[in-house]
Structures are given as structure tokens and as C-alpha cells.
Chain A
Amino acid sequence: MKSSSQKPARQREPNVLPGFGITLGFTTFFLCAIVLLPLSALLLKAGGMDLSRFIAVITSPRALASYRLSFGASLLAATVNMVFGFAIAWSLVRYDFPGRKFVDAIIDMPFALPTAVSGIALTTVFAGNGWIGQYLEPHGIQVAYTWIGITVALTLIGMPFVVRTVQPAIAEVQRDLEDAAETLGAGRFYVFRRIIVPTVLPALLTGFTLAFARAVGEYGSVIFIAGNKQMKTEITPLLIFMHLEEFDYAGAAALGVVMLAISFVMLLAINLLQVWGRKRLMVSR
């Protein structure tokens, strides 16, 4: 392999620790049985389809409408999270206020709370007679059972990803740089734009991508608030579920492959962003 020869030649030290063969063997076996074999079943099922049928399934008007909704709502939710997630992370790192530690602890709630619970809870709160919905509906803003509700659910799911990635980055911002800039006459906004944003940007984008990746595939918290009207509030994962309920396994597999491809692209983007962020950090030091 080329890449290994480019690395600085390292003397391979003899490792006295036991268990390499058996742990690697067990890990690989378990990984193959639980993850790789089932995933290859999906690829082969879709690969066994007629190409024209495959394309017909993944470009049907209903599928296209679901991509538009899934992508649009996820993008919007991730963007909302970028703004509010930054504000939350900033409050937690830079400011002290009563209950700060408590707020810091409950940020991870969406990770721990089952999606079905957040789904029915959000629907109850944002429905026309709900605590928040009752104030929005008279103004013509219907949240539950529309794309707005889907976006709200996806925002909740993605929020901790942004906050938790941005928090350490804000802590990294060198305050002496800020002070120096202010001493030299820079305004707060200038400092924000030229010192804080460049340092935090890679983390902010990573958080955005993580939140987006999670949102695109999300199912549980969305289906309760979505209303699931055909062509209108039907997300792609739900469409896969519909195909399965009609025992159309091939159709479900075709859409599953599309979702899987999206996951891979997201995974790649996240990795590239993290590499870029690390490089930037090293340059700035």
C-alpha cells in the first residue's frame, strides 16, 4: 500500500499483550453477522431488480415529493439548530446564569428520550389545542400535521448534535485574541466576525451535518406530528414503511438503497469536515 510507505517508518514494537487474534476474530464475526450481512442483503435485493423498475420506483412522483420534504425539512431544521445551537452553546460556555448546569445536563435529552415519546409529546404541545399550538393557530400558523411540525420534530432531534460539537469549539476561542482586538479598537461585532466565527466554523458545520444526517433518516418523532398525507407530509422513511406494508420488498429495498447512499455521503462529509477542522486548528496554533 502506498499510504503506509509514506508514513514515517516506525519500528514495530513487539506487543506482549494477549488476545489479539481472538478479539479481532470475534469483532469481525459479530460485525459481519449483525451489520454487514444484513446490509449486503439490501444491496443485493435492490441490485437484483430490473434497472428500469429500480429507476421507476426511486423517481416516482411520490418518492420525489418525499425526498423534497425530507431534505427540505432536514436542511431547515439543521439551519435553525445552527443559529439556536450556537446561542445555547455560547450561553453555556461564556455566561453564567441560574440553572446553567441543569440546562447543560438536559441538552442531551433528545439522545436519551425515545423518539416515539418526543413524537407524541411534540404533537400534543403543537396541536391546535396544545399549550403552544393554541397561540399559533389563530395567527394562521398550523404546526402539527404540516411540514412545519416535521421541521420542529427534526430540530429537536438534531439540537444536541450542534450544541455538543460547538461547545468545545467556543471554549477553544482564545480570549486574549479577543481582548487584543478590542484594545486595538475593534468593535464586538468585528471581533465576532473575524475571530470567533472562523474558530467555531468547522465545528458549526460539523454539527450542522450531523444534525442533518440524523434528521434525514428520522422516523419515530416525525410520523406522529407529520399527519402522513400522501405527496404532502410523507417523509422518505415512511414511504419505505408503506412499501413494506404492501409486501413490496423490492420497492422498499430500492428506496432503502437511496437512503443508504445518502447516509454514506453524509458520513464522508462529516469526516472531511472534521479533518478540515483539525487542520485549521493546527494552522492557527
Chain B
Amino acid sequence: MAGPATSEAIAAELATRPGHTSKRATLVRWLVIGTSLTFLGALLAAPLAAVFATALQKGWAAYFASFTDPDTRSAIRLTLTTAAVVVPLNTIFGITAAWCIAKFEFRGKSFLITLIDLPLAVSPIVSGLIYVLLFGANGWFGTWLQAHDISIVYALPGIILATMFVTFPYVARELIPLMQQLGNDEEEAAITLGAGGWFTFFRVTLPRIRWGLVYGVILCNARAMGEFGAVSVVSGNIRGLTTTMPLHIEILYNEYNFVGAFAVASMLSMLAVVTLIIKTLVERSGYRRR
């Protein structure tokens, strides 16, 4: 019964109601989405694709050949060593700090949290500089270290310390809000029922914070393996000895060895992709950042 005139009238009536998507709203929607995607494409997707395209521009053989270079191998080894020391230490620190901050009330707590977050606000260059000032030849401990033939700056310990500084807050700032929100009830019940401290931590606390812990650890690891500025200051760039993967990328790039530079960069990019995948899986499991 409804003639063409009536249905047009109905459509016109509907279009004025809230919640109805008019033609203009649809246009705005696709304009916003289009702008967002173009922006992300130019800034994120294109550079990421360029990493792999450049690494493979001379074929797979050249790509794999660049990993047989001894300096590249030692850079990979150094990065793995650094992360293997830094990540566990900062994980232990993060758990300890979260336990005392989330489980107990004490004066100066918010100040302590601010101090823990401090490294995130400091420029990477300054993060490296402070260790040079402390342990370098003219630094506070410089003379003593030289007398005892210990090198910290321009050697592995300096790289580890600088990396530790920049990744210092990652685990703690993930766990503190999480444990604060979970509260003390279950731990108190366990302790009251006679469980020991370690038992309570491993059997009651740890299972409940595990996703937050995974989240903090993988972000800490990504930053530890990828840190450039701070490590660049303390490393001294001794090729094959104190160059981590990011520093080795810089050396190769400045030598116009683009395949080599981007081959190492592609490994770090894959690390970033894996980090994001784990992060997404953790979020899927119901973990929400606070």
C-alpha cells in the first residue's frame, strides 16, 4: 500500500531523528577513518615495511649473509646478555617494590612512586650521561676504578647499568596499581591460616598478578633490547665489543651498509611484533591496564 511518496516521507522523517546515520554522518565517519588510516600508514606501516624491503633488497642470500658477520653476531650476543641481566633484576625489583607499596601503608609512599617513575621522564641521553659522570675517568669513582683496573663506562657493566636505569619502572608501574586493586584479603587469609610468607606469595599473590607481570616484563624486555640513546653514551661504540644491536645498526647505516643495518633492524622489528602479539594475547585474557 505504501506508495513511493510515503516511503520517502518516512525516510525523511527518520533522518531527522537522533541516532539515525544520515548521509553526512556516513561521510564524516569515512573521512575520520580514512584520515586516521592514512596517518598511521605513512607514519607506522610504511617505515615498518621499508625495514624489511631494504633488508631484502639484495635477496635472501645477502640478508642471511649479514648475520654471519662476527661484529653483528657479537652485537646480538651483547644485547641478549644485557637483557638477560637487566630484565630479571628489574622484575625482582618491580615485584618487591609493588609488594611494599601495595600491601602496606606508610608515609612518603606517593613520593616513592614518583621516584620510581622518574627514569621515564628523563631523556635517554641524560640517563647515559649520569653514569659517565659517576664512573667515567673524571667521575666520582673514576680514580678508584682506574686504580683497581675496573672499567664500567665503555664496557659491559656501564651498558647494563644504563639499560637498567631506563627500564627501571616498567614492571613496578604495571604491578603497583594491579596489586593495590586486588587488595590484601586473600593474602591475609593465607597468613592467618598459617601459611608462610613465600608460600603465600607464590601460591596466592603470583597467580593473581601473573598477567600484569607478563605485561611488564615483555615491555621491559623490548625497551632493554632496543635502548639506543642511553647505551650510546656509555658504550663508547667499540665495534664488536661494546656495540649492542641498536648501536650496531647505527654503525652499519653510517657505513652505507644498508642491507646489514636493516637486517639487524628487521630482527628488532620482529621482536617488537612478537612483543605486541604477546601484549594483545595478555589483554585478550582479560588483563586491563590501570
- Taking beta carbons and an 8 Å cutoff, which residues of A are in contact with B? 1, 4, 12, 15-20, 23-24, 26-28, 30-31, 34-39, 41-42, 45, 84, 87-88, 90-91, 95, 97, 103, 105-122, 124-125, 130-132, 152, 155-156, 159, 178-179, 182-183, 188, 213, 216-220, 224, 237-238, 240-241, 244, 247, 249, 252-253, 256, 259-260, 263-264, 266-267
Contact between chains at A41 and B269 (CB < 8 Å): no
Q: Mark B30-42, 1 if CB is under 8 A from A, else 0.
A: 0011011101101
Stretch at the interface among B5-13, B60-68, B102-110, B143-151: B102-110
Q: Which residue of A lies closest to B121 (CB)?
A: A263
- Cα separation A12 to B106 with both chains bound (whole Å): 10
B212 at the interface (CB under 8 A from A): no
CB B68 to nearest CB in A, in angstroms, measures 21
Pick from B39, B122, B132: contact of A260, CB below 8 A: B122
A residues in contact with B29, CB < 8 Å? 95
CB A190 to nearest CB in B, in angstroms, measures 13
| Residues from 50 to 109 in B contacting A, C-beta threshold 8 Å | 50-51, 54, 93, 96-97, 99-101, 103-107
A residues in contact with B161, CB < 8 Å? 34
Pick from A103, A121, A132: contact of B265, CB below 8 A: A121
B116 at the interface (CB under 8 A from A): yes
| Residues from 191 to 220 in B contacting A, C-beta threshold 8 Å | 191-192, 197, 200, 219
Q: Mark B159-188, 1 if CB is under 8 A from A, else 0.
A: 001001100100000000000000010011
Contact between chains at B253 and A117 (CB < 8 Å): no
Q: Mark B13-40, 1 if CB is under 8 A from A, else 0.
A: 0000011000011001100110111011
B residues in contact with A247, CB < 8 Å? 138
CB A269 to nearest CB in B, in angstroms, measures 11
B155 at the interface (CB under 8 A from A): no
Contact between chains at A219 and B272 (CB < 8 Å): no
CB A60 to nearest CB in B, in angstroms, measures 17
Contact between chains at A120 and B276 (CB < 8 Å): no
CB A178 to nearest CB in B, in angstroms, measures 8
Pick from B226, B249, B279: contact of A113, CB below 8 A: B226
Contact between chains at A179 and B19 (CB < 8 Å): yes
Contact between chains at A24 and B269 (CB < 8 Å): no
- Cα separation A249 to B115 with both chains bound (whole Å): 25
Contact between chains at A263 and B122 (CB < 8 Å): yes
Contact between chains at A35 and B36 (CB < 8 Å): no
Known: A16-B192, A219-B124. A237 touches B46 (CB 8 A): no
| Residues from 212 to 264 in B contacting A, C-beta threshold 8 Å | 219, 222, 225-229, 232-233, 245-247, 249-250, 253, 261-262
Contact between chains at A113 and B269 (CB < 8 Å): yes
Contact between chains at A103 and B37 (CB < 8 Å): yes
Known: A17-B104, A87-B32, A95-B33. A114 touches B268 (CB 8 A): yes
- Cα separation A267 to B120 with both chains bound (whole Å): 10
Chain B residue total in the interface (Cβ 8 A): 94
What are 13 A-B contacts defined by CB distance under 8 Å? A1-B107, A15-B103, A39-B122, A84-B35, A91-B36, A103-B40, A112-B275, A115-B246, A119-B228, A217-B123, A217-B125, A220-B232, A252-B129
Q: Which residue of B lies closest to A265 (CB)?
A: B121
Q: Which residue of A lies closest to B132 (CB)?
A: A244
The A contact surface, by secondary structure, is helix
B residues in contact with A20, CB < 8 Å? 100, 103-104, 106
A residues in contact with B106, CB < 8 Å? 20, 24
B residues in contact with A39, CB < 8 Å? 118, 122, 130
Contact between chains at B126 and A256 (CB < 8 Å): yes
Known: A17-B187, A42-B133, A84-B36. A116 touches B228 (CB 8 A): yes
A residues in contact with B272, CB < 8 Å? 109, 112-114, 117
Contact between chains at A121 and B47 (CB < 8 Å): yes
B119 at the interface (CB under 8 A from A): yes
Contact between chains at A23 and B96 (CB < 8 Å): yes
Known: A38-B130, A220-B228. A27 touches B100 (CB 8 A): yes
Contact between chains at B168 and A122 (CB < 8 Å): no
CB B80 to nearest CB in A, in angstroms, measures 14
B residues in contact with A84, CB < 8 Å? 35-36, 39
A residues in contact with B280, CB < 8 Å? 105
- Cα separation A183 to B20 with both chains bound (whole Å): 11
Contact between chains at A112 and B50 (CB < 8 Å): no
A residues in contact with B132, CB < 8 Å? 244, 249, 252
B residues in contact with A16, CB < 8 Å? 188, 191-192
- Cα separation A37 to B103 with both chains bound (whole Å): 27
- Cα separation A33 to B262 with both chains bound (whole Å): 36
Known: A38-B131, A106-B276. A131 touches B33 (CB 8 A): no
Contact between chains at B219 and A116 (CB < 8 Å): no
Contact between chains at B246 and A117 (CB < 8 Å): yes
Contact between chains at B99 and A23 (CB < 8 Å): yes
Contact between chains at A259 and B51 (CB < 8 Å): no
Contact between chains at A95 and B227 (CB < 8 Å): no
Contact between chains at B129 and A42 (CB < 8 Å): yes
Q: Which residue of A lies closest to B267 (CB)?
A: A117
Contact between chains at B96 and A26 (CB < 8 Å): yes
Contact between chains at B249 and A256 (CB < 8 Å): no
B43 at the interface (CB under 8 A from A): yes
Q: Which of A28, A95, A97, A116 has the most CB of B within 10 A?
A: A116
